[in-house]
Chain A
Amino acid sequence: MDSSTTEYLRGTLKTIVLGLLAEKDRMYGYEITQAVKERTRGEIVLTFGSLYPLLYKLEQESLVRTESEEVEGRLRKYYVLTLTGRQTARQKLLDFTHFTQLMNRLMQLPLTLSTPPSPDATGL
């Protein structure tokens, strides 16, 4: 994952996680990481250091609630969207779709940049 992807990801991580949770009844931390990894074909890999602060924040904002369950002798914490969380997820996804449409319109690759600039070009 390059630095620009990380930069864009920082602002959209909340939308990504809310969107994933909206698709399933409940998910646990590693499951979310795996879902992101699989859908992006390994291009975006979340670490626990970036995922858990967000999940705890969503819990604080009452957008998700947690359910703990013992699985394979370990305590597993599942995250479930609350009603407010579901509404927020829907709104965030709509906002993001609108934003990407705007960006697509705005960020057309200029013809001058369609080929990589040669090192000889002085720009004068």
Chain B
Amino acid sequence: MTYLTPQQTYCLRQHLRQVGTPELLMDELIDYLACQAEERMSHGLSFEQALAMIRREATALSVRHLQHTLIRQGALPRTSFWRHPARFTKREKAAFGLIQPVRSTLLIGAFLSVMLTGWLLASRGLAIPVGLVASLLCPLLLLLFLQGLRHTRSHQRTSLVRHPALREEYVRRPAPRKRALVTR
């Protein structure tokens, strides 16, 4: 019997994360898929081939269907559309992949434009007041930029953008039931 290496198991975990598997189901599905991969590998397939087959079977759709069924049964806590892990990962990527470079570019742009304006005005004989303003503004903008960078790093380190399943407010929350309303 072939057994998966920790790296191969990690690949399965990554795949399940990508398709938005809830944390509560993660360990069980990893074991299920790992057993499936091991069986296929013992029949002569490579891990990559087994993984490709698993990817075709354990799709985002099938995992979401399982999740919804379990939520309907009350076995899993209800996760709103906005807090869906897959969506959250996208939001995280957008936050750190797009917003930060745009912010940095704007700051650098503002810094350069102030320098340029200062130089232009100085050439017309307003050297002293403009030079003063520019010399005050430039370090200020530089400080803001550095603060922005530090904020980004602390943001990543303290992980304010945490995975929904790890947040306290996402602990087991029973699904609201129509039955409860009916019996009242």
Judge whether B35 and A30 touch: CB under 8 Å: yes
Nearest Cβ distance between residue A82 and chain B, in whole angstroms?
17
Judge whether B31 and A76 touch: CB under 8 Å: yes
Residues from chain A with a CB closer than 8 A to the CB of B27 are: 68, 74-75, 77
Q: Which of B38-72 contact A (CB under 8 A)?
A: 39, 57-58, 62, 65-66, 69-70
Residue of B nearest to A56 (CB): B75
Q: Does B168 lie at the interface of the complex (its beta carbon under 8 Å from any beta carbon of A)? A: no
- Given the known interface contacts A76-B31, A77-B28, the answer about A30 and B36 at a Cβ–Cβ threshold of 8 Å is yes
Per DSSP, chain B at the interface is helix
Q: Does B3 lie at the interface of the complex (its beta carbon under 8 Å from any beta carbon of A)? A: yes
Q: Does B161 lie at the interface of the complex (its beta carbon under 8 Å from any beta carbon of A)? A: no
Residues from chain A with a CB closer than 8 A to the CB of B29 are: 48
Residues from chain A with a CB closer than 8 A to the CB of B57 are: 47
Contact residues on B (Cβ < 8 Å of other chain), bracket: 20 to 34
- Given the known interface contacts A29-B31, A73-B9, the answer about A56 and B73 at a Cβ–Cβ threshold of 8 Å is yes
Judge whether A53 and B73 touch: CB under 8 Å: yes
Q: Does B125 lie at the interface of the complex (its beta carbon under 8 Å from any beta carbon of A)? A: no
Judge whether A30 and B66 touch: CB under 8 Å: no
Interface string of A31-69 (1 = CB under 8 A from B): 101100000000000011100110011011000000010
Cα separation A29 to B29 with both chains bound (whole Å): 9
Residues from chain B with a CB closer than 8 A to the CB of A75 are: 27-28, 30-31
Residue of B nearest to A71 (CB): B31
Q: Does B74 lie at the interface of the complex (its beta carbon under 8 Å from any beta carbon of A)? A: yes
Residues from chain B with a CB closer than 8 A to the CB of A71 are: 31
Cα separation A30 to B3 with both chains bound (whole Å): 15
Q: Does A23 lie at the interface of the complex (its beta carbon under 8 Å from any beta carbon of B)? A: no
Interface pairs A-B: 8 shortest CB-CB: A30-B35, A56-B75, A75-B27, A53-B69, A74-B31, A49-B66, A76-B31, A30-B32
| A interface residues, Cβ below 8 angstroms from B | 28-31, 33-34, 47-49, 52-53, 56-57, 59-60, 68, 71-77
